[in-house]
Chains A and B, each alone.
Chain A
Amino acid sequence: MKSISGPLFVLPALTLIALFVLIPFLGVLGLSMTNFDIYVLASSANLHFIGGANYAHLFHDHAAWQALETTLTVVLAGVPATLALSLICALMIESIAPRWRGLFRTAFFLPVVCSTVAVAISWRYLLNTRYGLVNHLLLAVHLPALNWLGSPTLAVIAITVVVVWKGFGYGMIILAAARREIPEELYDIARIEGAGVRRQLLSITVPILAPTLGLLALLDVAGYWQLFAEPYVLTQGGPMGSTMSLLLLMYDRGFRWWRWGIASALAMVLTIIMWLFAWLQRHTKTSWREG
């Protein structure tokens, strides 16, 4: 009885994962080494194995490097900003009266549950050059109005701001929960020994929360690395391709130009760099524990 029900219970999930995760993954890997494009779509006789040629093509493709740079910029600027904001909000919330905590937690978490497309539309009106509220405020304090989504540098900054705004509530919830696990006695002892607030923060709170922060960093990297809807709605990848993320480029190559070989190679590059980040995170975590 036992021996048969175990596999039976696992079977539906395993079937779904095999069909919609593992096989497509092998598919991407395979496609990335073929010349699959619009001609192959017309007649499969045109399909050829071309080894690493798509990867070599990407290596010399300016758009691919630019997408990598843009995505990396959003990740490298956005993840630390998100973690800092999550941590600050979590620590502030945990040090106010318990009955007010729920209210602030809800406020900071609401952007997380909202559709990215919908909030990107809202942000586009906030950032609009002519009637956006952000420029309205800048003008009110006698600063120049900025062309937020029309300048390559500002557009990347704007998208990073939207991504951080939408994401930090998630880390805030987790860090607040982790902070509650730290015994108050530790702080009592530190206080008796004369440690100030800053010392308590640097010698107790941050070291104990470090593994949680590391894990959040990984989750944020994985999420931001898959940047897509924000630039799709806010800028369509422009101006001049400055906000074209890796996934947006994959979508563009795959579904606008039907160059599936190239698009699949992009998808593989995206996956492998994500694995690299995951490996790095595990690596640094073990060294913390040892140290």
Chain B
Amino acid sequence: MRIKVLTVRASLYASLTTLAILTLFPLLWVTSIAFMRSPEQSAGTPPLWPRHPTLNNIVNIVQREMLGHYFLNSLIVAIATTVLSTFVAGLAGYALAQVQFRGRRVISWVVLFAVLIPSQALVLPLFEMFREVHLINHYAALILPAAANPVSIVLIQAYMRGIPAEILDAARMDGAGEWRTFFSVVVPMMAPMLAALAVLTFVVSWNDFMWPMIAMQKASMQTLPVALASIDREHYQEIGLMAAGATVTILPMMAIFVASQRYYLRSVVAGSLTD
């Protein structure tokens, strides 16, 4: 009996470890190739590990292909999107959950309807709209549509409903205006949720591909994934170069995720269980 339990436990750890290695392998391998010298990459199947690690590929993709520039574009867009989206959704989610006003119900329904519209189906009219106001090839073309985030509003609304109204009423009775109540009472209360959504928004913005590719027609305005895809069209034979580009694109997100997974995972779970 004892031996059977041990075997079951051992096989559990063994299968989990195998699955984890298989899952991580494509990420680890591409990172490893990024540090290989070109003979290692091109002579048949690249080895698992660079025998003579080099920074050449990273230097090449950063200098020759201006990857640092695209990195900066991505960073600007992701930060602005995150700040704007989180602030706007925080205000709206709180008001829809805890402030009484006319039309609240209708607006909640409108937000729910917006959740059901696949954003990628909207790129044609969006392109026309931004072209009309000459904002194609501007950061605003990426930031503004991404800041219209109905899912975040629904999540904050659900989270804020769980907070007793008495706490907020007490603050209001002390004579604090709605703005003061919002910033000094509500924001601290929903800070964990806001932090979680902020990380989620940042990652989604960083990885977004289709709309950024359409909206940024000028090469110098492209974000990292878009630039990577267009460098890839030209240089896909240069394994080391492309592996370096992929590594520079995914490493920051992996680092952010590992550093903030406590918040990030909470928002992922909240997003699915508040049905």
Q: Residues of A at under 8 Å CB distance from B?
A: 1-3, 5-7, 9-10, 12-14, 16-17, 19-25, 27-28, 31, 89, 92-93, 95-96, 100, 103-111, 113-119, 121-126, 131-133, 136, 165, 169-170, 173-174, 177-178, 211-212, 215-216, 219, 222, 225-226, 228-229, 232-233, 247, 250-251, 254-255, 260, 263-264, 267-268, 270-271, 274-275, 278
Contact = CB atoms under 8 A, between A and B. Distances in A.
Contact of B95 (A10, A93, A169, A225): A10
Contact of B110 (A1, A22, A225): A22
A111 to B, nearest CB: 6
A231 to B, nearest CB: 12
Contacts of A222: 118
Given A10-B95, A110-B254, A96 B121 contact: no
B107 A270 contact: no
B44 interface: yes
B122 A25 contact: yes
Contacts of A136: 45
Given A27-B125, A115-B253, 16 more contacts: A3-B102, A5-B95, A7-B95, A9-B91, A12-B92, A13-B92, A13-B153, A17-B110, A23-B125, A110-B23, A115-B225, A117-B229, A118-B30, A123-B26, A126-B26, A233-B229
Contacts of B120: 226, 228, 247
Nearest to A178: B273
Given A17-B148, A174-B272, A254-B124, A270 B110 contact: no
A116 B207 contact: yes
Interface in B14-30: 15-16, 19-20, 23-24, 26-27, 29-30
Contact of B229 (A232, A270, A275): A232
A192 B223 CA distance: 59
A107 B20 contact: yes
Given A24-B129, A115-B207, A121-B246, A10 B91 contact: yes
A255 B120 CA distance: 14
A117 B269 CA distance: 25
Interface string B151-181: 0010000000000000000000000011100
B269 to A, nearest CB: 5
Shortest 8 CB-CB distances between A and B: which pairs? A6-B101, A27-B125, A13-B92, A5-B178, A9-B95, A122-B30, A16-B148, A118-B246
A9 B183 CA distance: 12
A95 to B, nearest CB: 7
Interface stretch (B51-59, B190-198, B237-245): B237-245
B123 A233 contact: no
Nearest to B33: A125
Given A16-B88, A107-B24, A126-B29, A5 B99 contact: yes
A274 B118 contact: yes
Contacts of B92: 9-10, 12-14
B116 A119 contact: no
Give the bracket for the number of chain B residues in contact with chain A: 35 or more
Contacts of A268: 121
B99 to A, nearest CB: 4
| Most-contacted residue by chain B among A3, A92, A107, A275 (CB, 10 A) | A107
A2 B207 contact: no
B118 A113 contact: no
B250 A119 contact: yes
Contact of B275 (A14, A89, A215, A225): A215
Contact of A263 (B117, B124, B148, B242): B124
15 contacts: A1-B177, A13-B153, A14-B107, A14-B110, A27-B124, A28-B124, A107-B24, A118-B250, A119-B27, A121-B242, A131-B45, A165-B23, A173-B269, A215-B272, A251-B210
A125 B203 contact: no
Contacts of B117: 21, 25, 271
Nearest to A3: B101
Given A5-B99, A10-B91, A118 B228 contact: yes
| Most-contacted residue by chain B among A216, A222, A255, A263 (CB, 10 A) | A255
B131 to A, nearest CB: 10
A10 B27 CA distance: 41
B122 A110 contact: no
A107 B258 CA distance: 10
A131 B117 CA distance: 42
A9 B99 contact: yes
A16 B88 CA distance: 9
| Most-contacted residue by chain A among B148, B225, B247 (CB, 10 A) | B148
Nearest to A181: B273
Contacts of A124: 236
Given A2-B99, A28-B124, A133 B214 contact: no
A110 B257 contact: yes
Contacts of A19: 129, 144, 148
B51 to A, nearest CB: 17
A114 B124 contact: no
A177 B271 CA distance: 12
A31 B123 CA distance: 12
Contacts of A24: 122, 125-126, 129
